[in-house]
Amino acid sequence: MYESLNGLWFGFGVALQPHNLMWSFFGVLIGNLIGVLPGMGALSAISMLLPLTYTMHPVPAILMLSGIFYGSQYGGAIGAILLNMPSHPPHAVTCLDGYPMTKMGKGGTALGITMIASFFAASFGIMVMIFASPLLVAIAFKFGPTEVFSIMLLGLLAGGTMARGSALKGVAMTVVGLLIGVIGTDVNTGAHRFTFGITELSDKVELVALALGLFGVADFLHNINRITFVGSGTKVRFRDMRPSKSELKQAFFPMLRGTLIGTLFGAMPGTGPTITTFVAYALERKISKTPERFGHGALEGVASPEASSHSKTQVDFIPTMTLGIPGDAVMALILGALIIQGIQPGPNLISEHADLFWGLIASFWVGNILLVILNVPLIGIWVKVLQVPYRFMFPCALFFIAIGVYSTNNSLFEVNEVLIFGIAGAIFLALDFPAAPILLGYVLGPLVEENFRRALLLSRGDLRILFERPISAAFMSVCILLVLGQIVLAVRGAYLKRKAGVPGIDLPQAPGSVVENE
Partner 1 sequence: MKGFLNPLNRDYYGGTLMLLLGLGAAYQGMHYPLGTLSRMGPGFFPVSLGVILTLIGLAIAIGGKWAGLEDEKKTLPPEWRGWFCICLSIIAFVVLGKYGGLLPATFGIVFISALGDRQNTILGAAGLALASSVVCVLLFWWALQMQFPLFSWG
Which member of 5, 104, 224, 481 binds partner 1 (CB under 8 A)?
224
Neighbouring C-alpha atoms within 13 Å toward the C-beta of 4: 14
Question: How many other CB atoms sit within 10 Å of the CB of residue 245?
Answer: 7
State how far the Cα of 265 lies from the Cα of 275, in Å rounded to an integer: 9
State how far the Cα of 72 lies from the Cα of 273, in Å rounded to an integer: 13
Q: Is 354 in the site for partner 1 (CB under 8 A)?
A: no
Q: Is 499 in the site for partner 1 (CB under 8 A)?
A: no
Which member of 1, 239, 286, 431 binds partner 1 (CB under 8 A)?
431
Q: Is 26 in the site for partner 1 (CB under 8 A)?
A: no
> Minimum CB separation from partner 1 for residue 61, in Å?
16
CA nearest 355: which of 34, 7, 81? 7
Closer residue to partner 1, CB minimum distance, 7 or 51: 51
Q: In angstroms, what CA-CA distances link 508 with 96, 237, 271, 302, 385?
A: 8, 31, 19, 14, 28
Site stretch for partner 1 (CB under 8 A), options 10-18, 120-128, 190-198, 355-363: 190-198
> Minimum CB separation from partner 1 for residue 153, in Å?
12
Between the two ends of the chain, the Cα-to-Cα distance in Å is 36
Q: Is 412 in the site for partner 1 (CB under 8 A)?
A: yes
Q: Is 396 in the site for partner 1 (CB under 8 A)?
A: yes
Q: Is 182 in the site for partner 1 (CB under 8 A)?
A: yes
Site stretch for partner 1 (CB under 8 A), options 58-66, 101-109, 341-349, 489-497: 489-497
Could you say which DSSP state residue 508 is in? P
Site stretch for partner 1 (CB under 8 A), options 198-206, 223-231, 242-250, 318-326: 223-231
Instruction: List all residues 6 or more positions away from 164 whose beta carbon is below 8 Å from its beta carbon.
Output: 272, 274, 275, 434, 516, 518
Which member of 203, 352, 432, 468 binds partner 1 (CB under 8 A)?
432
Q: Is 57 in the site for partner 1 (CB under 8 A)?
A: no
> Minimum CB separation from partner 1 for residue 490, in Å?
7
Which member of 141, 191, 351, 505 binds partner 1 (CB under 8 A)?
191
Could you say which DSSP state residue 56 is in? S
Tally the residues of the chain: 518
Q: Is 500 in the site for partner 1 (CB under 8 A)?
A: no
Which member of 17, 166, 288, 344 binds partner 1 (CB under 8 A)?
166
> Minimum CB separation from partner 1 for residue 423, in Å?
7
Which member of 141, 189, 245, 286 binds partner 1 (CB under 8 A)?
189
Please give the distance of CA 347 from its chain centroid, rounded to a whole number: 22
> Minimum CB separation from partner 1 for residue 377, in Å?
25
Residue type, 455: A
Site stretch for partner 1 (CB under 8 A), options 90-98, 151-159, 304-312, 399-407: 399-407
Which stretches of 191-299 are DSSP H helices?
207-212, 218-223, 238-241, 245-267, 273-287
Closer residue to partner 1, CB minimum distance, 55 or 351: 55
CA nearest 413: which of 201, 212, 214? 201
Q: What is the DSSP string of 335-369?
A: HHHHHHTT---STTHHHHTHHHHHHHHHHHHHHHH
Closer residue to partner 1, CB minimum distance, 17 or 407: 407
Judged on CB neighbours under 10 Å (0-12, 13-18, 19+), 237 is exposed
Which phi and psi (to 5°) does residue 17 adopt?
-60, 135
Q: Is 391 in the site for partner 1 (CB under 8 A)?
A: yes
Which member of 264, 340, 372, 423 binds partner 1 (CB under 8 A)?
423
> Minimum CB separation from partner 1 for residue 40, in Å?
15
Residue type, 437: P
**Coil/strand/helix, residue 370:** helix
State how far the Cα of 337 lies from the Cα of 208, in Å rounded to an integer: 10
Site stretch for partner 1 (CB under 8 A), options 85-93, 94-102, 162-170, 335-343: 162-170
Which member of 402, 436, 444, 479 binds partner 1 (CB under 8 A)?
402
Q: Is 390 in the site for partner 1 (CB under 8 A)?
A: yes
Residue type, 230: V
Closer residue to partner 1, CB minimum distance, 136 or 423: 423
Is there a contact between 332 and 270 (Cβ–Cβ < 8 Å)?
Answer: no
- Burial profile 50-70: b = 16 or more Cβ within 10 angstroms, e = fewer: bbbbeeeebbbbbbbbbbbbb
Q: Is 398 in the site for partner 1 (CB under 8 A)?
A: yes
- Burial profile 394-408: b = 16 or more Cβ within 10 angstroms, e = fewer: beebbebbbebbbbb
Closer residue to partner 1, CB minimum distance, 34 or 361: 34
Binding site for partner 1 (CB under 8 A): 166, 168-169, 171-172, 175-176, 178-179, 182, 186, 188-189, 191, 193-194, 217, 220-221, 224-226, 389-392, 394-396, 398-399, 402-403, 406-407, 410, 412, 415-416, 418-419, 422-423, 426-428, 430-433, 449, 452-453, 456-457, 459-463, 490, 494, 497-498, 501, 503
